[in-house]
Amino acid sequence: MVAEHGGLPRPVRLDRVLAEAGLGTRRDARTLIKRGRVSVNGVTVRDPGRHIRPNIDQVAVDGRALETGAEDPVTLMLNKPRGVITATRDAAARTVLDLLPAAVARKVVPAGRLDKDTEGLLILTEDGQLCHRLISPRHAVEKEYWARLDGSVSPSLVEAFAAGVRLDDGYVTLPARLVIERVEQPGEARVVVTEGKYHQIKRMFAAFGLRVTALRRLRIGSLWLDPALAPGEYRPLTGDEIQLLLRNPAAPGVSGPDLGTITAPPSSGTTF
């Protein structure tokens, strides 16, 4: 049932979704909807012409979830907000899965981890192989971060990052690329790493006496965070975008948004 619409699942009329799920004819489906027996994302919908996104919106009839979807594994891009943990469940804290409809959250896992106070690009997928490729150091998929520091990043750090940084536990990181974003903003930098050690970016800067006060992931492979996604918003990836995730390093001609289109988080109120 699911057609591609620029690579995204094409929105489909609700009455058609019900009919194709075996709940009777389109007329039967319209009756069910008008009687208030159908909900979309937990809210009763009485308009049979309402369009839903297969595999994304959660449709239920009399409270029972309906399979709306395609066979392709679901892969989402989330703009992770600060204050949410990257875990599948937690007794106390809000997790990234809590930002998704339950039917989607049941299927996907985060491909990698961002700290509670880090925001930005997080991939969630039910494709185990893709997940493995994105996080395995063997595949060396680049991850690019924007960081704000509590001091100035000296140009000498560029070479130090390129050589690999010895962390507090003695581990020496793989070579990383450090770019001082703007000379007039020496407290901001971009960092590209190909591995994901615990608190890696914070610990790399800490090795030089700098504290990260804000951190955002901008890119994985050649795929940039969609600047149209506000923190907490997500969308499915197209097939082409999944390919970009695995294309590494960023190929010539693949460029990201300039910093002006990705607004920096406020400097206050963020502590690590």
Residue ranges in contact with ligand URA by CB under 6 A = 114-115, 118, 199-202, 215
> Looking at beta carbons only, is 30 or 202 nearer to ligand URA?
202
Q: Shortest gap between Cβ of 170 and ligand URA (angstroms)?
A: 17
Q: Shortest gap between Cβ of 38 and ligand URA (angstroms)?
A: 40
> Looking at beta carbons only, is 17 or 212 nearer to ligand URA?
212
> Looking at beta carbons only, is 56 or 153 nearer to ligand URA?
153
Residue with tokens 């971009």: 190
Find residue 146's DSSP bridge partners. 190, 216
Q: Which residues contact 235 (CB under 8 A, 6 or more apart)?
A: 8, 76, 77, 226, 229
Q: Which residues contact 104 (CB under 8 A, 6 or more apart)?
A: 55, 56, 58, 74, 76
> Looking at beta carbons only, is 32 or 245 nearer to ligand URA?
245
Q: Shortest gap between Cβ of 143 and ligand URA (angstroms)?
A: 7
Q: Shortest gap between Cβ of 79 and ligand URA (angstroms)?
A: 14
For 38-55, b/e burial (b = at least 16 CB within 10 A) is bbbeeeebeebebebbbb
Q: Shortest gap between Cβ of 233 and ligand URA (angstroms)?
A: 19
Given the residues 57, 115, 117, 127, select the one marked as catalytic.
115
> Looking at beta carbons only, is 218 or 237 nearer to ligand URA?
218
Annotated active-site residue 115? The verdict is yes
Give the residue numbers annotated as catalytic, written as ranges: 115
